[in-house]
Amino acid sequence: MGIQSNVEVQTEWGIVSARQAGRNLAKEAGFSSVDQARIATAISELARNIYLYANNGEIIIEFLENENVSPPRRGIKITARDEGPGIDNIRNAMEDGYTTSGGLGAGLPGVKRLMDEFDIDSRSGVGTEITAIKWLR
């Protein structure tokens, strides 16, 4: 693990800067332009969820290096953390087309498809932490 960047998300500009940071890091890590777009879009979705539902939180983007497996794997990990209202029903939230904000309802399931690994931890009234990893191929 090396460089990481943290971006506070409070306004829509926070979404833009998180996305920018993610794209830059993805480019440095050597991801293809399609994967760069995937990572940027995933960050955009997660950051927008923070902005829409939790008002503020942070996006952490970091390099990953796993040397225990061979060949060693490298990738990028996105962590979206907030202390918002939490997600009442994660199963619903992960369903395509389910939305509480009048959107398309493709955000979370979309992020799961855009990335290689996806993990969600949310407690009602406490907050939400979502981590997603994209491995370099």
Partner 1 sequence: MQPSIIQMIHNQRHYIIDNWLEEINTVQTETVGNNVPKEMDDETNRKFIEMIIDTLEYEQREAKGKLRGFVERLIYSGWPLSYFTRGMQSFRSVLLETMSSGEGVNSKRIFETFYEIETWVDGIVNQIADEYSGSWENTIQLQRHALNELSAPLIPVFEKISVMPLVGTIDTERAKLIMENVLEGIIEHRSHVVLIDITGVPVVDTMVAHHIIQAAEAIRLVGAECILVGIRPEIAQTIVNLGIDLGKLQTKSTLQQGIEAGLQMTQRKIVKCNTESASSVVIGG
Rounded to the nearest whole angstrom, what is the least distance from the CB of residue 47 to partner 1 in the complex?
9
DSSP state string for 53-116: IIS-EEEEEEEEEE-SSSS-EEEEEEEEEE-SS--S-HHHHTSTT--SSSS-S-HHHHHHHHSS
45 touches partner 1 by CB under 8 A: yes
Assess 55 for contact with partner 1 (CB under 8 A): no
Does 134 engage in binding with partner 1 (CB under 8 A)? Answer: no
Judged by CB, which is closer to partner 1: 4, or 20?
A: 20
Q: How many CB atoms lie within 10 A of CB 34?
A: 8
List 75, 76, 107, 118, residue binding partner 1 (CB under 8 A)? 107
Contact between 40 and partner 1 per CB under 8 A: yes
Per-residue buried b or exposed e for 57-73, using 16+ beta carbons within 10 Å of the residue's own CB: bbbbbbbbeeeeeeeeb
CB of 125 to partner 1, least distance (A): 26
Q: Does 48 bind partner 1 (CB under 8 A)?
A: yes
Work out whether 24 is an interface residue with partner 1 (CB under 8 A).
no
The dihedral region occupied by 118, where left means phi > 0, alpha psi between -120 and 50, and beta the remainder, is beta
Binding site for partner 1 (CB under 8 A): 12, 15-16, 19, 23, 33-34, 36-38, 40-41, 44-45, 48, 96, 103-107, 109-110, 113-114
